[in-house]
């Protein structure tokens, strides 16, 4: 068991990266499965990720549609096409439970901001792990760096939620549903969170390994 714990400690950052990678991959397997007739598998993934993302159609990626490999739609566009009812009381009118079809494509199981956030988290994590293993040290981010990376998404998320709940007419819907804004703020948050997660994991792992090496080099007589 000691050897197992030593291996887990040594490769804890890599294990976390694998888990994050699986979490990112699964939502993309859903539209692939749905497009190839594997409805139970594809729908099962969609239903699982409902607990982690709102899956609103106007903030999600559609794959394999007739208009291109990657497509985005607004609620009004899907309603005009006849794919969404004018009212959707079961899902607050946002098409949460709508997964697509062969014409418009199939929805990735989490939204574009989550895609950017977790994708950046994974890529930044890969960089930090490789850097630490080669340089035998880890990168740290100062407090102002965390604020710069984390706050834009937090502020935007809170503000747009308030704007929607209280129906602020002076806030443009184009701002609320802006895709580039969601990608940028999500990616920034993902990079900042990667520094928090992997710096702490690598620091703790190195400290434990250093203590173990000291014990091994100075055994009790």
Give the DSSP H or E segment for 63. strand 62-65
User: Rounded mean pLDDT of 191-205?
Assistant: 92
User: Rounded mean pLDDT of 11-23?
Assistant: 95
Q: Are both 77 and 150 inside the same structural domain?
A: no
User: Rounded mean pLDDT of 151-164?
Assistant: 92
Among 122, 105, 123, 107, residue whose Cα is nearest residue 54: 107
Last residue of a domain, one of 110, 138, 164: 110
* Residue-range definition of the domain harbouring residue 23: 2-110
User: Rounded mean pLDDT of 103-120?
Assistant: 95
pLDDT in tens, 48-85: 999 999 888 889 999 999 988 999 988 888 888 888 76
Q: Are both 131 and 167 inside the same structural domain?
A: yes
Last residue of a domain, one of 110, 130, 152: 110
**What is the pTM (predicted TM-score) of this model?**
0.88
Last residue of a domain, one of 75, 110, 145: 110
Predicted confidence at residue 95, as pLDDT, reads 61
Domain count of the chain?
Answer: 2
Do the beta carbons of residue 128 and residue 202 sit within 8 Å?
yes
């Amino acid at each position: 068991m000691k050897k197992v714990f030593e291996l887990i400690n040594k490769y804890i950052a890599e294990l976390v990266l694998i888990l994050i990678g699986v979490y990112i991959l699964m939502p993309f397997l859903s539209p692939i499965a749905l497009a190839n007739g594997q409805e139970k598998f594809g729908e099962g993934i969609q239903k699982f990720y409902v607990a982690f993302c709102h899956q609103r159609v106007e903030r999600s990626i559609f794959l394999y549609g007739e208009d291109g490999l990657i497509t985005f739609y607004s609620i009004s566009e899907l309603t005009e096409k006849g794919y969404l009812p004018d009212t959707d009381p079961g899902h607050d009118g946002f098409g949460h439970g709508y997964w697509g079809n062969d014409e418009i494509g199939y929805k990735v199981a989490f939204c574009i901001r989550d895609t950017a956030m977790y994708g950046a988290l994974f890529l930044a994590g890969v960089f930090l792990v490789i850097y630490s293993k080669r340089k035998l040290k880890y990168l740290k981010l100062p407090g102002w760096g965390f604020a710069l990376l984390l706050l834009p998404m937090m502020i935007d998320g809170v503000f747009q939620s308030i704007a929607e709940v209280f129906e602020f007419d002076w806030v443009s819907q184009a701002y609320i549903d802006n895709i580039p804004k969601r990608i940028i703020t999500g990616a920034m948050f993902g990079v900042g969170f990667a520094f928090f997660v992997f710096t702490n994991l690598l620091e703790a792992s190195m400290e434990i390994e250093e203590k173990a090496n000291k014990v091994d080099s100075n055994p009790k007589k």
